Structure 1
């Protein structure tokens, strides 16, 4: 009962407060910063997207950097049965991120064509130079 002696009730409407940022206002930026700084400290992969490229490409790069693509080895590690870990495209190596983006001959040829296409887009101002250069840099970092 002694705990209630110090309690003061105020006649005021209830309100919600967001204590992450100054001003108690909610913001997406504050939430994203919280995720980046508190929940993902070991991944070194910020959740920021590049606005100059499509959201699907952003999501793909993010999953690529985290090694969360649905490749055969990743599926097997999650307990999903797969017939074989060998790359179904070339049958020359285990289907892992490094193989799929650098070593697989068939996929490498496809990436070369995509890079030529992106080069043409850059010449004509397609996605914006800065965004596309950052996009390609992230792809190279992931492999």
Structure 2
């Protein structure tokens, strides 16, 4: 793990790659090499993978909000899984978009 480049200076890129290798379960290059996916989608997927989407349960744990219920369905806590997959309101929206 060397962060000094050939010129003797600090390499931000190398430091970033080393840190990502320690915290990501898959290689970050798999995300960076996905050129067929728009960069915003790629970034969102990467943030979801490392659990960095600010859903209500995360915001509650950080003391930012007082209520973790999903603001769309109000049925359950808004976890990342609920936000992306399980919310009934979300399902109706996607059905409308895809039809």
Give the TM-score taking structure 2 as reference length: 0.69
C-alpha distance in 2 between matches for 1:112 and 1:62: 25
Q: Which has the higher contact order (CA 8 A, sep 6+)?
A: 1
**Does 2:72 match 1:89?**
yes
Show CA shifts across 1:11-31 (max 9, x none).
xxxx7147xxxxxxx7x5x66
Give the unaligned 5+ runs of structure 1. Answer: 1-14, 19-25, 118-143
Q: How many residues align?
A: 89
**Does 2:52 match 1:68?**
yes
Q: CA 1:113/1:59 → structure 2, altered by over 3 Å: closer, same or farther?
A: farther
| Displacement over 4 Å in runs of 4+ | 30-33
**Does 2:36 match 1:52?**
yes
Give the TM-score taking structure 1 as reference length: 0.50
Aligned position for 1:16 = 7
**Does 2:94 match 1:111?**
yes
